[in-house]
A = this chain, B = another copy of it.
Amino acid sequence: VSLFRLTPQREAVLDVVRRATDHPTALQILNRVRQGTPSIGVATVYRALDLLVAHGAIKELTLGDRGSARYDGNPKPHQHVRCTRCGRVADVSIELPRAAASAAEAASGFTVTSYDVQFSGVCAECTR
């Protein structure tokens, strides 16, 4: 856990990601940060996101979108459900049984250290 400078720009990015509940993309984060810090550049946001991910402060998600990553302000292990109709993503706090990771190790020969589960379905709004 090394140190890094929490500059105003980085703090603004972290703030936006933490406050977000919709798992925004980098460019969405850029737009939100610009409401308070209009002069911030694209590169700064990308570099801040990489840094925050590397330090475990936030998580990077690659959900079903082609060509863009999304970010999650909750660094604790948790899973996601995605609505196939409207694209909404919600958090789910569940843990897989030990046996799942063990089975994966046995089947692949890998040493498994973590996992991500993405459920797909239809959200309450879209079902209605």
List CB contacts (< 8 Å) of A73-128 with chain B.
79, 81, 83-84, 90-94, 96-97, 100-101, 103-105, 107-124, 127
Interface size on A, residues (CB 8 A): 44
CB pairs A–B below 8 angstroms (10 shown): A62-B63, A81-B110, A96-B100, A100-B117, A105-B121, A110-B119, A110-B123, A114-B121, A117-B117, A117-B118
This protein's copies in its complex: 2
> A16 in the interface, Cβ–Cβ < 8 Å?
no
In contact, B124 and A120 (Cβ under 8 angstroms): no
Tell me if A69 counts as interface (CB < 8 A to partner B).
Answer: yes
Q: Are A112 and B119 in contact (CB under 8 A)?
A: yes
A60 to B97, CA, bound (A): 26
On whether the beta carbons of B67 and A83 are closer than 8 Å, the reply is no
> Is A64 located at the chain interface by the 8 A CB criterion?
yes
Taking a contact as CB atoms under 8 Å apart, the answer to whether A121 and B110 are in contact is yes
Q: How far is the CA of A47 from the CA of B1 in the complex (A)?
A: 45
